Structure 1
Amino acid sequence: MIKDIITQLGGFLTALLAFFTVIGISFDWFTPQSINAFLLLLSSFVGLVINIYAVYKNTYVKKRLQEKKGEQ
C-alpha cells in the first residue's frame, strides 16, 4: 500500500512538471531526476520508519510482556 502511494505521488509530481512546462513555468531544480531522487528518499525514509518500529516492538514490547508474565 505504501509503495502504491509513493508511486502515485511520483505520477502527480511528473504530471505537475508537465503542466508547468506547458504553461511556460520552469524551475531548474524541478526535473525528472529530482522527482526520482525525492521518491527514492521518501521510499528509504518509509523503510527506515518501519524498521525502527519493528525493532522497538520486538525489543521493548516483548520484554515488557515477558516481565508481566514473570510477575504472575
Structure 2
Amino acid sequence: MTADKLKQYIGFIGGALGGILLFLQALGVELAHFNNESINAFTEMLLTFVPLILVGYGVWKNQYLVTKKAKQQEYILKRNGVK
C-alpha cells in the first residue's frame, strides 16, 4: 500500500467522522469531546501511527530471529547460498 493511498483512507475516516458529527448536531445531540478538533487530532494520530505500525510489521515479517519457521527458512537460504 502506498503512502498516498494510506493518506486517502485516513482522510476517508476523518471525513466519515465529520459526517457523523454533522448528523448528530442536526439531531441536536452535542457531545463535549466529539468535535472538529478531536476529529482532526484523531486523524493526525492515525497519520502518524499507522505508517509506524506498517513499518514495524514489515520489519517483523522480514527477520529470521523469532519463529521456528523463520529459522528454518534462514537455514535453507544460507544452505542454498542465497543469503
Match of 1:71 in 2: 79
| Aligned counterparts of 2:14 and 2:50: Cα–Cα separation in 1 | 15
Does residue 1:50 correspond to 2:50, yes or no? no
TM-score after normalising by structure 1: 0.76
TM-score after normalising by structure 2: 0.68
Unpaired runs of 5+ residues, structure 1, are: none
Q: 1:11-50 counterparts in 2 under 5 A? A: 11-50=15-54
**Partner SS, residue 60 of structure 1:** coil
**Partner SS, residue 63 of structure 2:** helix
What percentage of aligned pairs have identical amino acids?
34
RCO higher in structure (CA 8 A, sep ≥6): 1
| Aligned counterparts of 1:4 and 1:50: Cα–Cα separation in 2 | 16
Count of aligned pairs: 72
Code of the residue aligned with 2:37 in structure 1: it is Q
Between structures 1 and 2, the one with greater helix share: 1
The runs of at least 4 consecutive aligned structure 1 residues that moved more than 4 Å come to: 63-66
CA RMSD for the aligned pairs? 2.4
